[in-house]
Homo-oligomer: A and B are copies of this chain.
Amino acid sequence: MTALTPAQAQAPALPSAEQTDPAKLGWMVGSPPPPDKVIRFEDGSGYRFPQLRWSFSHQRQLIPTTNVSRGVGAVSPLPRAERNDLDAVRFTPLGKTEPLTWAQAFDANYTDGIVVLHKGRVVYERYAGVFRPEGQHIAMSVTKSFFGTIGAILVAEGQLDENAVVAKYVPELQDTAFGDATIRQLLDMRTGLKYSENYADPNAEIWAHVRAGGVLPRPPGYSGPKSFYEFLQTVKKEGEHGGPFTYKTVNTDALGWVIRRVTGKGVGQNLGERIWSQLGMEQDAYFSVDSVGNEFAGGGLNTSLRDLARFGELMRNGGQAGGRQVIPKAVVDDIRKGGDRSAFGGYPTLPGWSYRNMWWVSHNAHGAFMARGVHGQAIYIDPAAEMVIARYASHPLAGNVNNDPTSLPAYHAIALHLMANPR
C-alpha cells in the first residue's frame, strides 16, 4: 500500500453527488420504507451523510417546529427570464488550475437547489434530489444573517442599545460569558467564549448546544441542559470581549434571547412580522424549536429557495421591496460596509473579508456580501452585478472551506458574465 501524499490525505475521496442522490437512494420511500431506508431522529441518522441529503429538506418530519408565516397576502412576482448560457460559464476553482463550468459546479457542491437573480429576474433555477420549489430546506447559519439584520434594525429603531451589555436585557445571563458582552460584540461575534464550533470534534460545545435545543438526539440518561436558554446559562468566558472575530453560533442564540425579551415576541414571530409577511413570500418558513418553544436562532430556519432569494434581493435593493422601505436603508448600508477587517482571520478561502451584523462581507471590487451556512447554504449578493444567488446544498463536509473553492469563483464568474452579457 502506497502512503498518501498530504494533499491526498487532505482530500479524502468522497462519494459523488450522483452516487448520493437522495431520490435515487430512496430514503423514506415505501409503505412502509424498508428498514435500511428509514431515517429516524432518535438514531441521529438525519445528520449523517448521505442521509442528510434527504433530511436537510425534511427537518420538520424529524423534529418539532414553529411556523414563520407568510401571512395571507398575495405572492410577490419573481419575474422569469431564464437563459441557457450560464451552464457553460467557466471558472477556476480556488487552488486549482483546471477550470470547471457552472454546470459542473452544481454537483461538485452537492447542490440541492440554486437560483440566480439578475436585476430581480430569475435567470437560472435548478433543483436536484428531493428538494423542490415548494419545499423548505434548512438554512443552517444563513439563519444568523436574518437575526443579525433584525438585531441591527432594533438598534436603528432605538429598541436596543448596541453599547449596552447583554445582562441589561437578559439578567439571567449576568453570570455567564455573555453578561458583560455588548450587543455590538454579539452582533459582530467579537466575544470571548469557551465554546468550540469545531464540527470535527465530538466534544466541541456546539454539540452540547444543539443537544440542549433538541436539534440532535440526546444519549440515554442525558442530564444536561434541556433548552437553548438553559445551555446559554452554562457558557463561560474565555479571553476578553472586543477582540478578534471568532465565529460561535451561541452568540446568535444569545442575541435571539435579547430580541425575544426586548420585543416580547418569539424570534420566529419577529422574522414573520418584519420580513416574511412583508416580502410576498411564496411559502411559510419554519424553525426547529426546543422543549419550551424557543427557536434555534443560530441555525434552525428552513425556507424555500426562492424566498431565500427574495430576502437577498431585499438586501441588494437597500431594504426596499415592492416600492416600500421594508427595512432601514442605514441597516443595509452598515452591513454592506462590513466590519473591522483587521479583526478577521483564519479563513483561507475568505482573505480580506469581514463580519458585520452576522453577514460575511467580501470587500471585493463588486462589494459582494454573503449569508453562509454549513454544508453549503448561501446567499451571495453582488451589488455591482445586480445579482443575487441563493443556494441550498448537502455537502458531505460541514465547513464551507470545502465548497468555497468551487463556489466563490463560480459566483464571481457568473457576475462578470451577466455584466458583460446583459439581456
Inter-subunit contact A133/B291 (CB<8 Å): no
Does A38 have its Cβ within 8 Å of any Cβ on chain B? yes
Does A103 have its Cβ within 8 Å of any Cβ on chain B? no
- Provide the residues of chain B in CB contact with A289, threshold 8 Å: 61
Q: Please, what's the 1-or-0 string for A6-41, where 1 marks a CB less than 8 Å from any CB in chain B?
A: 000000000000000000000010011100001011
Inter-subunit contact B261/A31 (CB<8 Å): yes
Inter-subunit contact A74/B72 (CB<8 Å): no
Q: Which of A38, A41, A65, A282 has the most CB of B within 10 A?
A: A65
Inter-subunit contact A284/B284 (CB<8 Å): yes
Inter-subunit contact B134/A71 (CB<8 Å): yes
Inter-subunit contact B229/A72 (CB<8 Å): no
- Provide the residues of chain B in CB contact with A61, threshold 8 Å: 64-66, 289, 293
Inter-subunit contact B284/A283 (CB<8 Å): yes
Question: What's the least CB distance linking A9 to chain B, in Å?
Answer: 38
Does A296 have its Cβ within 8 Å of any Cβ on chain B? no
- Provide the residues of chain B in CB contact with A343, threshold 8 Å: none
Residue in B72, B284, B292 whose CB lies within 8 Å of A33: B292
- Residues of A31-78 at the interface with B, using a CB-CB cut-off of 8 Å, are 31-33, 38, 40-42, 58, 60-67, 69-72, 74-75
Does A329 have its Cβ within 8 Å of any Cβ on chain B? no
Does A411 have its Cβ within 8 Å of any Cβ on chain B? no
Report copies per complex: 2
Inter-subunit contact B66/A64 (CB<8 Å): no
Inter-subunit contact A74/B75 (CB<8 Å): yes
Inter-subunit contact A28/B293 (CB<8 Å): yes
Given contacts A64-B62, A293-B33, contact A72 B133 (CB under 8 A): yes
Does A135 have its Cβ within 8 Å of any Cβ on chain B? yes
Inter-subunit contact A292/B65 (CB<8 Å): no
Question: What's the least CB distance linking A211 to chain B, in Å?
Answer: 16
Nearest B residue to A292 via CB reads B32
Does A227 have its Cβ within 8 Å of any Cβ on chain B? yes
Inter-subunit contact B71/A74 (CB<8 Å): no
Does A249 have its Cβ within 8 Å of any Cβ on chain B? no
Given contacts A62-B64, A64-B60, A284-B284, contact A294 B32 (CB under 8 A): yes
- Residues of A252-289 at the interface with B, using a CB-CB cut-off of 8 Å, are 257, 260-261, 266, 282-284, 286, 289
Residue in B31, B133, B227, B260 whose CB lies within 8 Å of A294: B31
List the 9 closest A-B pairs by CB distance, nearest first.
A31-B260, A69-B134, A32-B292, A28-B293, A31-B261, A32-B229, A61-B66, A72-B134, A38-B292
What is the bound-complex CA distance between A63 and B69, given in angstroms?
18
Nearest B residue to A282 via CB reads B72
Residue in B32, B58, B69 whose CB lies within 8 Å of A135: B69
What is the bound-complex CA distance between A260 and B66, given in angstroms?
27
- Provide the residues of chain B in CB contact with A38, threshold 8 Å: 291-293
Give 22 CB contacts A-B under 8 Å: A31-B257, A32-B294, A38-B292, A40-B291, A40-B292, A41-B64, A60-B64, A60-B65, A60-B66, A60-B67, A60-B286, A61-B65, A61-B293, A62-B64, A63-B64, A64-B64, A65-B65, A67-B135, A70-B134, A72-B133, A72-B282, A284-B284
- Provide the residues of chain B in CB contact with A32, threshold 8 Å: 227, 229, 292-294
What is the bound-complex CA distance between A286 and B67, given in angstroms?
11
Q: Please, what's the 1-or-0 string for A393-422, where 1 marks a CB less than 8 Å from any CB in chain B?
A: 000000000000000000000000000000
Nearest B residue to A37 via CB reads B292
What is the bound-complex CA distance between A38 and B136, given in angstroms?
28
What is the bound-complex CA distance between A33 and B292, given in angstroms?
7
Question: What's the least CB distance linking A173 to chain B, in Å?
Answer: 12
